[in-house]
Every structure is written in C-alpha cells, then in structure tokens.
C-alpha cells in the first residue's frame, strides 16, 4: 500500500534565498515557506532578530560574505534560486556582492525583493527606523489615541508586517507569476512607509471632515459609543462594533435598554455611551460573551493573548496551534499551506553541495568559528 504524500503547497518548487535580518523579512519568507517554497536563510538563521516561529520550514546556512569565497558561494546559490530577499539599507547588499545588478546578471529570472523601511530613494532612505517611525510619518500614529493624550502606539503590526511583510510577499508572488510568461525577473522596492500609506487609503480622505475631525475622533477610532471597548464588572472588557443600524438594534435589544435610539445622531452619543457603560459594568466579561454568542450585534470578549487558544472559534479552526505555532495562512483547498517545524541545524555543506560547490570551496566560504552572532535577542534581556 502506497503512503499518502504530503500536500504540495502552491509555491512548491520555488527556491527563496533569504538574507533579511529584522522581523519583516523573516515573516515574509515564513509565509512563502508555509505556502510550500523552499527557503534558505543565509546567515545561520540566528542573525538579526531570532524569532523561532519565523524560521519554520527553512534551511539555514552560514557564509562569510566579507571574503571572496563567501560571496562566490552566495552567487552560486543564487543561480539556483527564483527569489532573493534582503532587508539592508540601500547599497549594503551591493557591497556584499549581493546587489540586484550583480545577481540578476547571473540569474535573469531572479525576483529580487529589497524590503526596507523608507525604500530605495528619498531623503530618509539611509536612515534607521522601526515600525513606530514608519507609522508616525504616514498618519497612522497621528490618528490613534484620545485627542487629549499622546498618540497611542500600536503593536508593530501595521508597518512591519501588514505594510512590509505582506506587501513584499504579494510583490514576490506577482513577480513570479509575471516571470512565467516573460522569463525575466525584476526588482521589488518594498518600503514599509509605502505599505503604511496604502493601508491608510480609506482614512486619509476623511481627515479633517466630520467623520474624522481629529486624532481619536474617527468613527472607527474608539471614541464613538457604538464602536469601542467597555469595562466589565471583573475589570475585563468587551469589544462593540455595532456600526451598522441592524447590528446596533440587536445590541440595544439584547441588552433590553428600551427604545432604540438613532446611533448616528451625535446628540444621542452621550446617552448611548452612558447606558452601555453602566450596563456592561454590571456583569463580568464572560457573562456578556455568553449572552451575545450567536447574536448579530458585533459584540465579542477582549481576550488577552494567553486566552485566545481557548476561544471556540480559534479552537475549531486551529486545534493544533499554540503561542509558538501560529497557523499557516491562508487556507487553500487543493494545495494547503503548512506550518512546518523550526530547525536551526546548520545546513551549509548540504545546501552548497546542491549548488555545485566542492568541499574546499564550501570550507573557504564559512565564517570564522568565533564569528559569534550579530543582531538583537528577542525578547531582549531586561535589567533592573
């Protein structure tokens, strides 16, 4: 009897060489690996920010790119690749022998993605930055938080991962698709500041209007009584997203608060807020979660990260997931994405032999034994 073969992801057969370091690049290539791509991390897998989940399904090699032998080994590997990803400031990869002009000359089909904060040009292109800086320059941060307090800093999801990793992954698969017809690769300038601007497309036109007059005052900014969080009797919270009339009516009637007011009338907002604040504060969070289960009112419990794995919806869709094994996304019916294991074993000899290098060339390409690890430990060690 033949063994059932593991499903092949939609990117099966695609080889990615990943020289990115900080979180957005490794998350981007994790998504590609989950979709079936073969991802080879150059740098031993521990350079940059060491986040184990981002290294799942990847092979890791170590090269000394300060030597001619190391650069030659990288270039030999790239001739076998479909995609190359780096996250250095403009010009750094070229100085390591890994710039687009050099690598595309060796492999014209290569899709080369440079994932950076500010992009390849402009006055900030050479500046350092993090998610907080990119969202500060694109109106994201300036629109968040109560108007009478400092801007509310979000987790680094907007610029790093949505505006960076996801946009880069979309660019990569788009360029791969185009290359099937043209036979040519291309350069992808994926800038987190650009991705953040794109994510603001719905909100920028409303700035200064009655719908978004100031920071924290937008309809979706948490200041309106039908779209915000409320404290419960146990100090935990519920999230209310009753934006549409039908959802608001269900909310009001489920709470038995009497005649349903016009929730889009600004004159009614203080009264609506007072009623909802008083009512939700009368019972613990899980009471409200049970009451609104199955009710189309857009009311859900606010779960702490440690609670999410016990939520019925998460359990039903991702029964095997955990904090160190988030699910592979998205779901594809025939060629599903798979969250594979993380393995930091050094595969340098194996990978370079596949690329055609002999034992002497492989040995010459390795970094010194005492080279150590560069980058940021995550989470960083805190001191008193």
User: What three-state secondary structure class fits 190?
Assistant: strand
Tokens for 245, please give them. Answer: 């009339």
Tokens for 303, please give them. Answer: 């779960």
Query: Residue ranges of the alpha helices (H) in the chain?
Result: 24-34, 68-78, 92-95, 100-106, 131-136, 167-182, 192-199, 245-254, 269-280, 285-292, 312-317, 348-354, 359-365
Confirm if 279 and 257 have CB atoms less than 8 A apart: yes
- Between the two ends of the chain, the Cα-to-Cα distance in Å is 61
Residue 21 neighbours by CB under 8 Å, 6+ apart = 43, 47, 48, 49, 87, 88, 375
Confirm if 187 and 112 have CB atoms less than 8 A apart: yes
The 10 Å Cβ neighbour count of residue 44 is: 19
Closest CA to 173 of 79, 82, 53: 82
Confirm if 141 and 135 have CB atoms less than 8 A apart: yes
Query: Residue ranges of the alpha helices (H) in 151-267?
Result: 167-182, 192-199, 245-254
Give, as one character, the DSSP assignment of residue 132.
H
* Residues annotated as part of the active site: 130, 160
């Amino acid at each position: 009897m033949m063994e059932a073969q593991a499903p092949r992801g939609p990117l099966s057969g695609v080889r990615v060489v990943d020289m990115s370091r900080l979180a957005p690049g490794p998350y981007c290539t994790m998504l590609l690996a989950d979709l079936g791509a073969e991802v080879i991390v150059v740098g031993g897998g521990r350079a940059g920010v060491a986040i184990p989940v981002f290294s799942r399904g990847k092979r890791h090699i170590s090269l000394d790119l300060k030597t001619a032998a190391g650069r030659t080994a990288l270039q030999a590997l790239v001739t076998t690749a479909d995609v190359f990803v780096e996250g250095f400031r403009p010009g750094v990869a070229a100085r390591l022998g890994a710039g687009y002009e050099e690598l595309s000359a060796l492999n014209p089909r290569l899709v080369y993605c440079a994932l950076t904060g500010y992009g390849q040009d402009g006055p900030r292109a050479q500046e350092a930055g993090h998610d907080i800086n990119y969202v500060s320059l694109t109106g994201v941060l300036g629109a968040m938080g109560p108007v009478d307090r400092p801007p509310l800093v979000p987790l680094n999801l907007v610029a790093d991962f949505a505006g960076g990793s996801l946009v880069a992954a979309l660019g990569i698969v788009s360029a791969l698709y185009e290359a099937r017809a043209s036979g040519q690769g291309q350069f992808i300038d994926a800038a987190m500041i650009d991705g953040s601007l794109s994510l603001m497309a719905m909100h920028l036109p409303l700035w200064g209007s009655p719908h978004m007059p100031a920071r924290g005052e937008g309809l979706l900014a948490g200041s309106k009584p039908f779209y915000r969080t409320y404290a419960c009797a146990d100090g935990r919270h519920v999230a209310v997203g009753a934006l549409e009339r039908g959802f608001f009516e269900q909310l009001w009637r489920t709470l038995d608060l009497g005649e349903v007011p016009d929730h889009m009338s600004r004159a009614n907002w203080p009264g609506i807020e007072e009623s909802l604040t008083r009512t939700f504060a009368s019972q613990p969070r899980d009471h409200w979660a049970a009451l609104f289960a199955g009710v189309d009112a857009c009311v859900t419990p606010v779960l702490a990260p440690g609670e999410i794995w016990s939520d019925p919806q998460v359990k039903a869709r991702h029964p095997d997931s955990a904090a160190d094994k988030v699910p592979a996304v998205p779901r594809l019916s025939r060629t599903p994405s798979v969250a594979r294991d993380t393995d930091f074993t050094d595969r340098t000899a194996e990978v370079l032999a596949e690329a055609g290098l002999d034992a002497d060339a492989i040995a010459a390409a390795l970094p010194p034994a005492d080279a150590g690890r560069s980058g940021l430990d995550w989470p960083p060690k805190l001191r008193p």
